[in-house]
Structure 1
Amino acid sequence: MTIAPPALSVFETLESEVRSYCRSWPAVFDRAQGSRLYDEDGHAYLDFFSGAGALNYGHNSPVLKRALIDYIERDGITHGLDMGTTAKRAFLETFQNVILRPRDLPYKVMFPGPTGTNAVEAALKLARKVKGRESIVSFTNAFHGMSLGSLAVTGNAFKRAGAGIPLVHGTPMPFDNYLDGQTPDFLWFERLLDDQGSGLNKPAAVIVETVQGEGGINVARPEWLRALSELCERQDMLLIVDDIQMGCGRTGAFFSFEESGITPDIVTLSKSIGGYGMPMSLCLFRPELDVWEPGEHNGTFRGNNPAFVTAAAALEAYWADGQTEKQTLARGEQVEAALRAICLEHAQLGASYRGRGLVWGMEFEDPEQATKVCRRAFEHGLLLETSGPRSEVVKLLPALTTTPEELDEGLRILARSVRETA
């Protein structure tokens, strides 16, 4: 399929130069259903991007759409701040019964605002308030958001530079396998904590992604996460797991940390928690950490009631019977087998792959290769993005509802795109 880029338009003449995804995918999209998007000229695209993880259940899921339409048609509350509403109550009860209680998770729920970075900012603020300390430890190649607090614990130099001011009160430590196994896990970190002359201020908390999505699909081992949890407990630091992109089933289980058996002190969720792509985020924390004064942290759009409706519907439809996790793991095996074959075929490119569930990355020795592959895949009707500090990783993020046939189709396009750009 040959795609002609759209003519110079209001996007170029009026919209800011900050836009990015539209430069990789020069099309004007009009509608979407399931794992397919369609541009205004009727061309179909298979979506292995899923709204950067905000569309785990695909585009316009009929079940979620029906719930949303019914709610709007009966004039349900749209904007509610933190007022009590029937939609919020239904979501909280469903979240408790379907997600928290079966996993024996004791969390209180906070609605900090509509975006992931809102949830991270709330988590950092709460950790500092509880511990009375400023410093937060993050990890190399982490990504936690674009507002200043979240950016201070983000690793990417390009994104950090956009702040325009010093980003303080954050200290990076090596992520799992950052040093290629040359030193024991957390040797440097704990030595600094124990040494009164190290210059490291006692941290209030550690924030971590179990799989670094924007950082290049770097997967933390369960034993590494358990050791981190134990370190935090020993050193009186709170453990924050940022599950904004990897939660809501992306790695198989609803929470990405379940495999490791840890229980973080604070968890952030966003993206697919709204189910339908509706803006929504949560900050979850142990009850004893709920030291907020009423109104001490707020936000105009922290009560997106249509998102509560689709979120509750998604939990009922996809998480009540345990089948989504099994299906995701099976689909992940399908992706892994295809990536293994591609890497074997193109050993001369130094290609390698890694991932969990339905988040996978394929890395090349030549960083430009990943961009070339994604560009060619778009020409063949497949949406893929790159990740990693040098955009050296092709990132696969298909919807959890993608069929085996659609996965096979997309993986064949990926293999063809690698072959044609090798």
Structure 2
Amino acid sequence: MSSAPLEEPRVEHLPTDQAIREPGVADIEYGWQGNNLVKLLENGEDYFPRVFEAMREAKTEILLETFIVFEDKVGHELQQVLIEAAQRGVRVTASFDGFGCGELTTGYLTALSAAGVHIQMFDPAPKHLGFRTNWFRRLHRKIVVVDGTLAFIGGINFSADHLGDFGPEAKQDYSVEVQGPAVADIHHFALLQSGRPARAKYWWQRRRQRRSELALSDHDGQVRLVYRDNGDHNTDIEEVYRQVLRTAQRRVVIANAYFFPGYRLLREIRNAARRGVDVRLILQGQPDMLVAKLAARMTYDYLLKSGVKIYEYCERPLHGKVALVDEDWSTVGSSNLDPLSLSMNLEANVLIRDRVFNQELFDRLEILSEHHCKAMDPEKAPRGRIWHMTVGFLVFHFLRHFPAWAGWLPAHKPRLKPFTHLAGDDRHGPR
């Protein structure tokens, strides 16, 4: 089999950008579902054994969406697990991002396709003069649903750099495993994203969701899926953050890899600290991209002067996208708090109302901030706040409107393209 890098596929059917964005779900907002079991998975050491075990035990279906797969030991294990599942009759659908998975070889994908795995590439594009052209509007979600009864969602990609033995560049990250009624919503969402038909939400399901909204005082096991697209739900995740910050009473902890939010969200963070809430941010001190650190530091003086505590995690790159408010609300997912995630990428988070989960996440973040982070001193915050915030304003709002401008260009009309292996075709290329 060829090992050439992935080339521009030849396809028979190219769905429209609207169909890819959220095919058939433009008006769907998922409600709270109760009585779920939610387990926090920290780093690849927790995540990979559990998700691979679930895939090996799959009976009928595996749905996978991911931003990155590398052909390393994790990527090869994923390939083998999916091949074995497909060969025993499990329907496997894998959606890969064309940028994050752009270095996968044709041979890697052909082996999956030949075994019966349904592969879809989101906006694949060849390099031009050695450079990628599909930087924006990425499929950034990380979702796995097995047999419609078990779901994983978070920020962990299928790559060895999420394992501690990768070395100093190993990422610090989080995901969750969900079992219970909320999996039906995650499964429904993932089905629609893959282009496959999903049953409509019937009236009794909607009524059940409304009842669960009224039962939030029970807290335990409440889960809700929220997502961001480039259509009707383009600000949902950001709005959830602003809402919970406005109602926070005692504590807020946000651990986020790429932190450069808009002014409304920054203002809610500042206001929470001003009214006496213990607000802590855990951000990158050893970033995988220097620009992430520089952008985040533009906000430090504004936040520190208002009483926000900022910690930089310096042991290795922070890749997490998690937060908690008070003693019962938490979120884990793929969305950073930067213009790419809040304005461009396709993202998904779960919201969790569960005191036990909240406390476990708080304890782990407390260990991170107290023992592995450097606390920023308010007296030594970067000066020149007006200049920094002016630059930040211009950069953020340029990126905020960039998707609309980029959408006019052919190179930025994302498409979900099927990869098809044809037996006897010596090209073995994407179709």
Q: Return the TM-score normalized by structure 1.
A: 0.27
Higher strand share: 2
Q: Return the TM-score normalized by structure 2.
A: 0.27
